[in-house]
């Protein structure tokens, strides 16, 4: 089943997603509850079959468009919503905001063929925690679900490159004054945020800064609380827009 979404290339399992949680394979008391949203019934069924083989993941429902996804999310309160971007009636990005309202604890991963920068950026602004292209392997879908459930952000490498390019362009063309001063981050928090922006996971950040992984997690949590944001990707977007940090 490993080739359902595209050929598996050497090294794909390691570098097709960003921010992999080193503890993602740890045993869980309860399975991760997933809502699958895609307008193609065959694709939904394929995902269900693949994920059914994972003991720690349970597909609790499916939906064929964004409007149905919002209703199902409200009823089922899933841990993860795995959702396409472009669907009839209501698209995935538009549905993101409503899902966050009816099921605040749900984390959303966009799984799509769209490699448009605008879709990626809009998905992050709408509250998505992951953005993966359908060319990834089935094994990587399960890995991404676990990582996002553990608090990591996931993004396909090709899209990460486009995202950072967009950040730089946004800074170059925007020189507006902030009406409210940005919350002050400590020097260490800025160091952590810069490494998050390069796609490093908590374990690698800990090695880079010679601190424990738990300390890194605490720094990330403090950064999100200070900035009043929900995900690591949102924190990077905010930091770039507010010129808290630069990526050259």
- CATH number (3.50.7.10, 3.40.47.10, 3.40.50.300, 1.10.10.10) of 174-241 reads 1.10.10.10
pLDDT in tens, 124-136: 888 898 888 888 8
Rg (CA), the chain: 18
pLDDT surpasses 80 at 234: no
Tell me the pLDDT band of 208, cut-offs 50, 70 and 90: very high
What is the spatial distance between Cα 86 and Cα 64, in angstroms, rounded to a whole number?
11
Would you say residue 89 has pLDDT above 70?
yes
Say what the pLDDT of residue 199 is.
67
Higher-pLDDT residue of 204 and 28 is: 204
Name 35's bridge partners.
61, 81
Q: Is the pLDDT of residue 107 over 90?
A: yes
- The string of DSSP letters for 20-84 reads --TTTTS--SSPEEEEEE-S-HHHHHHHHHHHHT-TTEEEEEEESSHHHHHHHHHHH--SEEEE-
Which residue has better confidence, 243 or 66? 66
Structure tokens at 168: 């730089």
Residue with the bigger pLDDT between 247 and 82: it is 82
Residue 27 pLDDT grade (very low, low, confident, very high; cuts 50, 70, 90):
low
* 89/85 Cα distance (integer angstroms): 12
- Distance of CA 53 to CAs 1, 76, 138, 219, 236, Å? 10, 21, 11, 35, 34
* 140-193 per-position pLDDT tens digit: 899 999 989 988 888 876 777 666 666 555 555 444 444 455 678 898 998 898
Q: Helix, strand or coil for residue 134?
A: coil
| Residue 5: pLDDT over 80 | no
Q: Where are the domains of the chain?
A: 12-159, 174-241
**Whole-number pLDDT of residue 164:** 62
With a pLDDT cut of 90, the percent of the chain lying above it is: 39
Structure tokens given for 8: 């598996």
Question: What pLDDT does 162 receive?
Answer: 65
Closest CA to 157 of 165, 145, 168: 165
Backbone dihedral angles phi then psi of residue 227, each to the nearest 5 degrees: -90, -5
- Assess whether pLDDT exceeds 90 at residue 69: yes
More confident residue, 72 or 245: 72
Would you say residue 11 has pLDDT above 60?
A: no
Adjacent-strand bridge partners of 32: 57
Specify the range with the lowest mean pLDDT, choosing from 88-92, 205-209, 218-222.
88-92
Strands 154-155 and 130-133: parallel
Per-residue pLDDT at 16 exceeds 70: no
Amino acid 173: pLDDT: 47
> Which CATH architecture fits 12-159?
3-Layer(aba) Sandwich (3.40)
């Amino acid at each position: 089943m490993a080739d359902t979404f595209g050929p598996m290339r050497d090294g794909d399992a390691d570098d097709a997603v960003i921010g992999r949680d080193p503890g993602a394979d740890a045993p869980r008391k309860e399975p991760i509850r997933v809502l699958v949203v895609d307008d193609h019934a065959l694709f939904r069924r394929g995902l269900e079959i693949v994920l059914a083989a994972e003991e720690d993941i349970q597909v609790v429902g499916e939906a064929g468009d964004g409007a149905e996804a919002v209703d199902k999310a409200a009823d089922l309160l899933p841990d993860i919503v795995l959702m396409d971007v472009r669907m009839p009636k209501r698209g995935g990005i538009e549905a993101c905001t409503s899902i966050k309202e009816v099921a605040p604890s749900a984390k959303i991963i966009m799984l799509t063929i769209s490699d448009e920068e605008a879709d990626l950026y809009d998905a992050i602004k709408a509250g998505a925690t992951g953005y993966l292209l359908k060319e990834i392997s089935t094994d990587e879908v399960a890995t991404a679900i676990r990582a996002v459930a553990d608090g990591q952000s996931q993004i396909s490498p090709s899209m990460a490159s486009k995202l950072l390019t967009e950040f730089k362009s946004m800074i170059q063309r925007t020189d507006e004054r902030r009406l409210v001063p940005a919350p002050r981050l400590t020097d260490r928090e800025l160091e952590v945020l810069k490494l998050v922006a390069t796609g490093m996971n908590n374990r690698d950040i800990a090695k880079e800064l010679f601190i424990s992984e738990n300390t890194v997690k605490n720094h990330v949590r403090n950064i999100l609380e200070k900035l009043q944001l929900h995900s690591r990707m949102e924190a990077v977007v905010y930091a770039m827009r507010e010129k808290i940090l630069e990526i050259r």
